[in-house]
Amino acid sequence: MNTKILIIGACGQIGTELTAKLRSTYGVENVVASDIRKLENDVVNNGIFEVINALDYNQIEHLIEQYEITDVYLMAALLSATAEKNPAFAWDLNMNSLFHVLNLAKAGKIKKIFWPSSIAVFGPTTPRENTPQYTVMEPSTVYGISKQAGERWCEYYNKQYGVDVRSIRYPGLISWATEPGGGTTDYAVDIYHKAITEGSFTSFLSEKTALPMMYMDDAIKATIGIMKASSEQIKIRSSYNLSAMSFTPEQITEEIKKYYPDFTIGYAPDFRQKIADSWPASIDDTLAREDWNWSNDFDIKSMTAEMFKNLKEHIYN
């Protein structure tokens, strides 16, 4: 049976690049991208696209039947900083969209689900350095609470109903291709833009705030990698720790200065500082590396080179 993919939330920060990669991997005709609205972008213009509300079970079911979907990538979510401004809607979107897809898999309508979790599942009581796979999880943000609850439901549906659901806890993701999407780690995207356009940047996190980060190419590689792995390899059905690098605003500034020696940074921590302080500084992802052979390609040095190369070629040419 052919793999037929539905991406829900395809126009978001991860969805945009994931859609392009899935289309090139599985064929344009086998990938259906969808989102709440139709934007003028490559996701919409370069393949099958449908407008869908992730909270509408019937709409999702209709698309799955219409296109004979086997795999669903549920990327729709309200991210950390945005979710704090609208907790009730964040909970509704993040949880009920997941229930819809889990229940469709339980009913035998789809074979496999990818659902992203996040380092936001951890909290201020979690060990911050080299955070283990199994540890204290007391998230203090709406986003983190919804992701932790989602992890438990994924594991439950796998154990009780045999639903093949796979998940990774994304660290902060850095991409040249899409604008920041309302996350606490987004300073690490914006800072590259400001280095080119303004020569200075004001960080909403303090200079010593270390957070786990990953270049988007690695995140896409991990997402497709875990879905391609055999069911036997996936031993964790809540969500896998995933890591590539950790750095502070101070450290990323040093890398940027290798390209823009006159670049300056200032600090004006806001409400996002409290969120960042509740998250790990570094992540232990040994089990992902052992179970399904995860490995990252980018560190802070190679990522910075790629960011400036692509931004200058595609955005500021």
Question: Is 82 in a helix, a strand, or coil?
Answer: helix
Among 26, 57, 67, 143, the active-site one is: 143
Q: 156 an active-site residue?
A: no
Token pair in block for residue 287 = 């089990």
Distance CA 258, CA 176 (A): 18
Strand partners, 112: 71, 164
Task: Classify residue 129 as exposed, middle or buried by CB count within 10 Å of its CB (0-12, 13-18, 19+).
Answer: exposed
Q: Return the H-helix or E-strand segment holding 66.
A: helix 57-66
Q: What are phi and psi of 44, to 5 degrees?
A: -75, -40
| DSSP secondary structure of 188-232 | HHHHHHHHHHTSEEEESS-TT--EEEEEHHHHHHHHHHHHHS-GG
Helices 300-310 and 249-257, packing angle to 10 deg: 60
Q: How many CA atoms lie within 13 A of 210 on its CB side?
A: 13
Cα–Cα–Cα angle for 200, 206, 212, rounded to 5 degrees: 100
Give strand pairing partners of 202.
266
Residue 183 token pair: 């996350």
Q: Which residues participate in catalysis according to the annotation?
A: 143
